[in-house]
Structure formats: C-alpha cells, structure tokens
Amino acid sequence: MTNSHNPEPLTRDNAAVVLVDHQVGLMTGIRDYSIAELKHNVVGLVKAAKALDLPIVTTTTSAETLWGPAFPELAEALPKHTFIDRTSVNAWDDKRVEQAIRATGRSKLIFAGVSLEVCAAFPAMRAVREGFESYVAVDASGTFNTTKRETALVRLTQAGVVVADGASLMVEILADNASAEAAGVYAALGMDWSILVGQVRRSA
C-alpha cells in the first residue's frame, strides 16, 4: 500500500516542537541509539528550533516519583523553560499540555519522545486526529528494543504521521542556506561542515 500523504512544507510560521519525557530514568533503557548520540540529537533539535524561533513545548511524567527530571543537557539547553509534569500516559490527555500545544498557534507539530512508540507516538497520532499535521523526529526518540522501534514506525505511518530525522525537519524549516539563521542551525545540529554555510551567506 502506498502512503500518498505529502503535506505542505514546514516553515518557521507553521511549525512547533513538542518534546515528551526525555527523562534520566527512561534514557537509561534506550537500546536503539547510544545515550550520547540520543542526547546529541535531542539537544541539537532543541538548539536548532531555538535558532529558528520555533515554539517548544516540553513535558515529563511523574518526575518526582517515577522517571526523574529531564536529562541535564536538555535542561541546560532550555534555561528557565517549564517542563509540564503529568501522570497521563498520552501527553495530549493532560489538559495543560494540550492547551500549551494549541497556544502555539501552529498547525504542524514535530514530536520527539522517550519512548518512541508511546511518548512520541501517542500524542503524535492524537494530533492527527485533532486536525494537526504531525511529524516525529525518530532520531530524537529512542526506545528499548528493535521490535518497539520497527512497530512504532509502521504504526506512525499507518496513522498518517510523517517520520523523519530531526536535522532534516529543521533544514526544511530553514529553507535558505543564505539566511541569517543558517550558521546557527547547522552548528546546533553538530554538522562540522557548517562553515560552508557561512561562505554561502557571505557570497550571497
């Protein structure tokens, strides 16, 4: 079966980022990425989103009693940012989270979460049902084994969610390598060759 879902491009005006449960307790169980790589991808996504001035919504689950706080590198990348702590399995089921997402005013939502098949997938699929266009940054959404990863990707695509890597989504939003934000976006994503972007910008 061919999936013909091909939404209009992501832009700085229509996109927001939603980060779900990147908590220290959950991160210890990740098996599809190294912890260092997953942290790099999540923080890179956040820093690129900030460089593009995108709204960012963040959540945790029972941080005091269950999974602990957001991992330190993420908290450092979002100083003074409020992580909405909840008990619901699906982040969207918490009214504060839903309200924060809707308050962004954006129609396209980029989700990432630990774990991929629950924390990222459940609200992403709900967003589609609520009339949003939904994306999951897979490389910022680790999980606990291969089966969970593979079945999550199938379920997401069946539900009409676009799956991609975070860097591709941010570069789609950037749109023009000559823009003032380009160097900051590529640097945030950890692309060593991003110096080329500065050369393009200076010659434009």
Asked whether residue 180 is assigned to any structural domain, the reply reads: no
Asked whether residue 3 is assigned to any structural domain, the reply reads: no
Domain range spanning residue 46? 15-175
Q: CATH number of the domain at 170, please.
A: 3.40.50.850
Structure letter (DSSP) for residue 31: -
Q: What are 120-150's pLDDT values in tens digits?
A: 999 999 999 999 999 999 999 999 999 999 9
pLDDT at site 4: 56
Integer CA distances (angstroms), 186 to 52, 64, 127, 144, 166, in order: 11, 35, 28, 29, 12
- pLDDT higher than 50, residue 33: yes
Asked whether residue 151 is assigned to any structural domain, the reply reads: yes
Q: What is the pTM of this model?
A: 0.92
Catalytic positions are 119
Q: What are 60-118's pLDDT values in tens digits?
A: 999 999 999 999 999 999 999 999 999 999 999 999 999 999 999 999 999 999 999 99
Asked whether residue 201 is assigned to any structural domain, the reply reads: no
Structure tokens at 48: 């690129």
Q: What are 157-196's pLDDT values in tens digits?
A: 999 999 999 999 999 999 998 999 998 999 899 876 665 6
CA distance 15 to 23: 24
